[in-house]
Chain A
Amino acid sequence: MRTRWLVAMSMFFAVSTPAAPDQAQVERGHTVYDKWCFPCHGTGPGKPGTDSLRQRGQNPAVLEERTDLNASMIRFYVRHGVLFMPTFRKTEISDADLDAIAAYLTRNNKK
């Protein structure tokens, strides 16, 4: 179990930089993010995911404001969960929706 986790983590940094996502994909990702991610990772009070990352020292703590996320990392956490964050099934967030979330959350990364 632990070995599998570490192998998967190491893959975050082995991926090549994807091509810039198109605007429609980013907009779709924004919609999916609002539905599935914002209630825990959004702005405002009562967002445990944001609070947890902030407490860990992450700045900015709100996922939408970060520029250091990559698609592999996002896919990993959605499909494997972490700490009290559960996994999300494909009937909840499809692979296509997950790609769109990744496009949205990496839209401001330095190219």
Chain B
Amino acid sequence: MKVPPGVSPSDFAKAISEFEDAVGKEWVFTSDEDVALYRDPYSPFLGEPDELVASAAVAPDGVDQVQKVVRTANQYKIPIYPVSTGKNLGYGGAAPVYSGSVVLDLKRMNRILEVNEENAYALVEPGVSYFDLYRYIQEKGLKLWVDVPDPGWGSPVGNALDRGGGYLMAHLRNHFDSHCGMEVVLASGEIIRTGMGAMPGSRTWQNYKSGFGPWVDGIFSQSNFGVVTKMGFWLLPEPDAYLSGTVYVPRHADLVPLVKILNYLENTRATNGMPDLGSPLLQIPMISEIAAWMSGDGPPPPDAELSGLLGNSEAGYSPELEAYALRKGVSYWSCKLSFYGPAKANEANWEFAKGKFSAISGARFVDNESYKLPLTPEEHEKVHKPQFGIPSLAMFSIGARSRTNPQPTNGHMWFSPIIPRTGEAIFEANRVFNQAAKEFGLPALAFSLPSCYWERAFIFIFAFPVTRDIETNKKNREAFKKLVERAAEHGWGEYRTAPAYQEAIMSTYSYNHHALLRFHQTLKDAVDPNGILSAGRYGIWPKHLRSQQA
């Protein structure tokens, strides 16, 4: 049996025994075979001595059991690493940041404690997946939608705490922003409830977010200050209808006014779904098209002339490429807008949007789907499901073997910088990352478009493949870290990352001699003095391990 670093075998044996008393022998995993299930299958260290691995795992079935486990861990100074569903693939999976930690697997805590249709909220435990919550709502016949991320096997709690995103309206698709109220077990074993939940008998825990006094919920996301055991989420009452329309613009420079107008429309809520950028000319699918394109249902390959022009373009542009686009009538950029609401309001908002975009010379419009909700079974099979609050795994087609991808990957890790929401920033980021890829020996980067998950900023999401070749993975890791530094030099920071890069990225948030990180450390020392919870997560190391990391 592997023993956590800094823990004596006898103390670990006593702790394991107490874990077994707390949760039942069946739910404490110490054999190599069982502990191996907690490896990150998408780890960039696969097969290397530096791979981050657990020593054991313990799976409580309720908050009282969590308290017992945490108290035992605190007594014996056992590092523990809570995970909810452990499916944060591309951002870490179930493996701990501090190798040798005991994974606190909360998957068995899978109770949907309340779903309130009238006020559109849910209260769930960490082991509840998006699939679980969706099925529950369907089985009960409730007219509610859940904002889901692309992989539906994640949990609302885990995804929100890692600050993931979805597809619906802006106030819901930021999953941390859409939560309302938490229950947290601290390292001492004490339970706190945040927001209105701090009041015994509160009747608005899932209705009013901030409660009274400092609003502390944020410190439990991307951190290691407590074990979140319950979380409330706002849901969307099923809208009357859905409508989408796409605007196409002809010239390279049109991206700048396209984004400017888009921002106006979204910030005034004239459009209320996630906007979706694409490029017919550069053959960049919109997010809602990726799964279909990867399955082979994309456009035909570019003709010989276009292939040559694309190969000779720089950061997605050359005068000749633009001339081709204008001559052939192939649009440079596209933007799909989604509207949820009363059918007539959707139509009016789309007409309003067309009017605004018509300021761009040559803009043309295509009316896409228009559905009266709920979807029919036939419509259900046609749509990009997360746009309708339906969990799915379709986006895993990115790595799967397909007509367009004969060599499947062993997983991926995401490089995800946040950039300003302007067309100019898109161009600049492409120039910078293209140049960086050349310098760092990466394959040439095709022009990329950012996603619009967040309403006031863009996010680029670049996939680094994980391979079975150690040398390739090493090279990719180094390149990843260099890209992080290069992005930071331009004022772009990552929003989230896998354990292998959390410290490197936190170090780029260095204003005033890393004052923010030092504040995190002050909090860490105060609320978890023995440093047992998720050591190293998001670059926050407990005091006794800080010197080892410096």
Contact bitstring A37-73, B, C-beta under 8 A = 1, else 0: 0011000111111011001100000000000000000
In the complex formed, the residue of B with least CB distance to A40 is: B393
Q: Decide yes or no whether B381 CB sits under 8 A from chain A.
A: yes
Across the interface, do B408 and A51 meet the contact criterion of CB distance under 8 Å? no
Across the interface, do A48 and B41 meet the contact criterion of CB distance under 8 Å? no
Partner of A86, one of B57, B87, B291: B87
Across the interface, do A52 and B401 meet the contact criterion of CB distance under 8 Å? yes
A interface secondary structure, majority: loop
The verdict on A86 contacting B89 (CB below 8 Å), with A40-B393, A47-B394 known, is yes
Chain A residues with Cβ under 8 A from B57's Cβ?
89
In the complex formed, the residue of A with least CB distance to B29 is: A90
Across the interface, do B409 and A48 meet the contact criterion of CB distance under 8 Å? no
Across the interface, do B295 and A87 meet the contact criterion of CB distance under 8 Å? no
**Distance between Cα atoms of A52 and B94 in the complex (Å):** 25
Across the interface, do B38 and A51 meet the contact criterion of CB distance under 8 Å? no
The verdict on A83 contacting B409 (CB below 8 Å), with A48-B396, A88-B37, A92-B107 known, is yes
The verdict on A46 contacting B385 (CB below 8 Å), with A39-B392, A55-B401, A91-B108 known, is yes
Partner of B397, one of A39, A48, A81: A48
In the complex formed, the residue of B with least CB distance to A94 is: B26
Q: Which of A40, A83, A84 has most chain B Cβ within 10 Å?
A: A84
Across the interface, do B408 and A83 meet the contact criterion of CB distance under 8 Å? yes
**Distance between Cα atoms of A57 and B401 in the complex (Å):** 11
B138 smallest CB distance to A (angstroms): 13
Across the interface, do A39 and B153 meet the contact criterion of CB distance under 8 Å? yes
A91 smallest CB distance to B (angstroms): 4
Q: Decide yes or no whether A35 CB sits under 8 A from chain B.
A: yes
Chain A residues with Cβ under 8 A from B399's Cβ?
48, 83-84
**Distance between Cα atoms of A56 and B408 in the complex (Å):** 10
Across the interface, do B37 and A39 meet the contact criterion of CB distance under 8 Å? no
Across the interface, do A55 and B397 meet the contact criterion of CB distance under 8 Å? no
Across the interface, do A87 and B401 meet the contact criterion of CB distance under 8 Å? no
Q: Decide yes or no whether A28 CB sits under 8 A from chain B.
A: no
The verdict on A89 contacting B406 (CB below 8 Å), with A40-B393, A46-B291, A46-B385 known, is no
Contact bitstring B91-132, A, C-beta under 8 A = 1, else 0: 001100000000001011000000000000000000100010
**Distance between Cα atoms of A48 and B486 in the complex (Å):** 34
A contacts with B, residue count (CB < 8 A): 25
Chain A residues with Cβ under 8 A from B108's Cβ?
91
**Distance between Cα atoms of A79 and B402 in the complex (Å):** 24
The verdict on A44 contacting B381 (CB below 8 Å), with A79-B37, A90-B34 known, is yes
Q: Decide yes or no whether B82 CB sits under 8 A from chain A.
A: no
Chain A residues with Cβ under 8 A from B127's Cβ?
91
Q: Decide yes or no whether B411 CB sits under 8 A from chain A.
A: yes
B104 smallest CB distance to A (angstroms): 11
**Distance between Cα atoms of A48 and B409 in the complex (Å):** 13
Chain B residues with Cβ under 8 A from A1's Cβ?
47
Q: Which of A81, A86, A87, A90 has most chain B Cβ within 10 Å?
A: A86
Across the interface, do B408 and A52 meet the contact criterion of CB distance under 8 Å? yes
Q: Decide yes or no whether B210 CB sits under 8 A from chain A.
A: no
Q: Decide yes or no whether B400 CB sits under 8 A from chain A.
A: yes
Across the interface, do B107 and A91 meet the contact criterion of CB distance under 8 Å? yes
**Distance between Cα atoms of A83 and B465 in the complex (Å):** 11
Q: Decide yes or no whether B507 CB sits under 8 A from chain A.
A: no
**Distance between Cα atoms of A51 and B408 in the complex (Å):** 11
**Distance between Cα atoms of A55 and B404 in the complex (Å):** 10
Across the interface, do A86 and B401 meet the contact criterion of CB distance under 8 Å? no
Contact bitstring B1-40, A, C-beta under 8 A = 1, else 0: 0000000000000000000000000010100011011110
In the complex formed, the residue of B with least CB distance to A39 is: B393
**Distance between Cα atoms of A89 and B29 in the complex (Å):** 10
Across the interface, do B34 and A40 meet the contact criterion of CB distance under 8 Å? no
**Distance between Cα atoms of A40 and B153 in the complex (Å):** 11
**Distance between Cα atoms of A6 and B288 in the complex (Å):** 39
Q: Decide yes or no whether B86 CB sits under 8 A from chain A.
A: yes
Q: Decide yes or no whether B42 CB sits under 8 A from chain A.
A: yes
**Distance between Cα atoms of A48 and B296 in the complex (Å):** 12
Contact bitstring A83-111, B, C-beta under 8 A = 1, else 0: 11011111110000000000000000000
B327 smallest CB distance to A (angstroms): 35
Partner of B86, one of A45, A55, A81, A89: A89
Q: Decide yes or no whether B410 CB sits under 8 A from chain A.
A: yes
Contact bitstring B278-321, A, C-beta under 8 A = 1, else 0: 00000000000001100100000000000000000000000000
In the complex formed, the residue of A with least CB distance to B391 is: A39
The verdict on A46 contacting B394 (CB below 8 Å), with A84-B408, A84-B410 known, is yes
In the complex formed, the residue of A with least CB distance to B34 is: A90
Across the interface, do A52 and B37 meet the contact criterion of CB distance under 8 Å? no
B37 smallest CB distance to A (angstroms): 4
In the complex formed, the residue of B with least CB distance to A35 is: B131
Chain A residues with Cβ under 8 A from B153's Cβ?
39
Across the interface, do A89 and B291 meet the contact criterion of CB distance under 8 Å? no
Partner of B295, one of A39, A51, A90, A92: A51
**Distance between Cα atoms of A31 and B403 in the complex (Å):** 31
In the complex formed, the residue of A with least CB distance to B403 is: A55
A53 smallest CB distance to B (angstroms): 8
**Distance between Cα atoms of A45 and B36 in the complex (Å):** 32
B21 smallest CB distance to A (angstroms): 19
A8 smallest CB distance to B (angstroms): 11
B196 smallest CB distance to A (angstroms): 31
- A–B Cβ pairs within 8 angstroms, 20 of them: A35-B131, A39-B152, A39-B153, A46-B291, A46-B393, A46-B394, A46-B397, A48-B394, A48-B397, A48-B400, A51-B295, A51-B401, A52-B400, A55-B406, A56-B401, A86-B89, A86-B93, A87-B36, A89-B105, A92-B86
Q: Give 10 closest A-B pairs by Cβ, nearest first.
A: A46-B394, A84-B399, A91-B107, A48-B400, A86-B41, A52-B401, A52-B400, A48-B396, A89-B37, A48-B397
Tell me the A residues contacting B by CB distance below 8 Å.
1, 35, 39-40, 44-49, 51-52, 55-56, 79, 81, 83-84, 86-92
Additional A-B contacts beyond A35-B131, A55-B402, A83-B400 (8; CB < 8 A): A46-B385, A48-B397, A84-B408, A84-B409, A84-B410, A89-B38, A90-B34, A91-B107
